[in-house]
Amino acid sequence: MSESMTPREREEEREDHRLHGEDVPGPITPGVAKKVGWVRRMYDWVLSYSEKPHGGWALFGFSFAESSFFPIPPDPLLVALALGAPKRALRFAAICTAGSVLGAVAGYAIGWGLWSAVDQFFFSYVPGVSPGAFERVRELYDRYDFWSIFAAGFTPIPFKVFTLSAGAFAISFPIFLLASGISRAARFFIVAGLIYYYGPPIQGFIDKHFDRLAWLFLILLVGGFVLIKVVLG
């Protein structure tokens, strides 16, 4: 793969190899599954903003939308923008976090005030949002409201399911906001921080290992709190 290629071109070449069943010359951005049809076209459209002067605004907009209805996560655009300007990586992470948290608040508001009027639209047209998913989330909220939201915000779990359902099930808004802010900031700043300090060579590590490390970090974090409760309780 040519070193002169832009971040977007490198991502597109990798995906073309995958779609044709060929060996991928490098890893894929974390959290992005195999894309075909309209999903692939939408992914390409999102990634195209990495080469435009208003890429930061696009990152904010996509981060906002993904928290309630948009199917493509902001991570690919964040990575592409950060790789194109590593010294601005932390700024892009801040933009991504702000957009995502504000979008989460919008998702909560939709669930809290409008859900009975719009639920069938979301169940029919928004990927990942379904009555079954809502029922499973309700069961999680009964015991682990903060940790459920934190896990969704930090890992590849569809965050929109949790923002919408948090409002629909009237989860404490301060808890929701705190969990969303911490988890989204942690996810985006870890990725951006690695690019800021190590530059483009770190992309392979992020693509290959980030999602697994996110799950491991969450398990260790929750396990630590459980251990403290057992020891001190």
**Residue keyed to tokens 């900031």:** 185
- What is the reported pTM? 0.75
Q: Taking each helix axis from N to C terminus, what angle separates 145-154 and 203-232, rounded to the nearest 10 degrees? A: 170
Q: Which amino acid is at 189?
A: F
Chain centroid, CA 232 distance in Å: 35
pLDDT digits (tens, 9 = 90+) for 73-113: 898 899 889 988 999 999 999 999 999 999 999 999 999 99
Closest alpha carbon to 51 in 81, 18, 92: 81
CA 181 to CA 100: how far, in whole Å?
9
pLDDT digits 0-9 by tens, 109-151:
999 999 999 999 999 988 888 898 898 888 889 888 898 899 8
Look-up: residue for tokens 């251990």? 227
Contact by Cβ (8 Å): 100, 64: yes
The answer on pLDDT for 67 being more than 70 is yes
Q: How far apart are CA 159 and CA 173, in angstroms?
A: 16
- More confidently predicted of 50 and 219: 50
Q: Which residues contact 220 (CB under 8 A, 6 or more apart)?
A: none
Q: Within 10 Å of residue 134's Cβ, how many Cβ atoms?
A: 20
Domain boundaries, the chain: 7-107+173-232
More confident residue, 201 or 62: 62
Rounded mean pLDDT of the chain? 80
